[in-house]
Amino acid sequence: MKLVILDRDGVINFDSDAYIKNPDEWRPIPGSLDAIARLTQSGYHVVVATNQSGVGRGLFEMATLNAIHDKMHRAVERAGGRIDAVFFCPHAEDANCGCRKPKPGLLEEIGRRFNTNLKGVPCVGDSQRDLDAAAAVGALPMLVLTGKGEATRRENRMPPGTLVFRDLAAAVKSLAACRT
């Protein structure tokens, strides 16, 4: 099975230090929807893995998070793509749960649900926690320089073997070149 795991904020859509708290605040990064369509058309199962502590902090309700994800799904479908599943951690950082990235629980759950080993699975994120979670399960960490990506690269703590790309479109173009 061809699987790719994407972070949401800063990879697919513009991020906000004040959180994406409603569907109107969810705005795709140029090229990201077409990149997901290209993955879909290349036979990939596209899964989103995202920390959404705004739920745990009481900034928005689950119904709002579902509405944001519905908007994302519809936008991707209009571009000709598909997101097969969205996995999220709703907990605030102080909850010390196992599913909040950089812990690997969210990605491990994806592996269980899709009945696949995540070794070498491309895992695209813009933050250190995305890269660390990917490395913890043996996935291939891929950093995009959108969102928090530039700051993450400057910190220079990336796991060995991390690939770096301008944005999701460039990362997907690289994957397509490697898989042909």
Catalytic residues: 7, 9
Instruction: Give strand pairing partners of 143.
Output: 125, 164
Q: Please name the residue that has the structure tokens 């596209």.
A: 46
Spatial distance between the Cα atoms of 84 and 56, rounded to a whole number of angstroms: 24
The alpha carbon of residue 123 and the mean position of all alpha carbons in its chain are separated, in whole angstroms, by 7
For the four alpha carbons of 158, 161, 162 and 164, in that order, the dihedral sign comes to positive
Angle between helices 168-179 and 32-41 (to 10 degrees): 20
Residue 125 and residue 143 in contact, taking contact as beta carbons nearer than 8 Å: yes
| Integer angstrom CA distances of residue 106 from 78, 100, 109, 115, 144 | 27, 7, 5, 14, 20
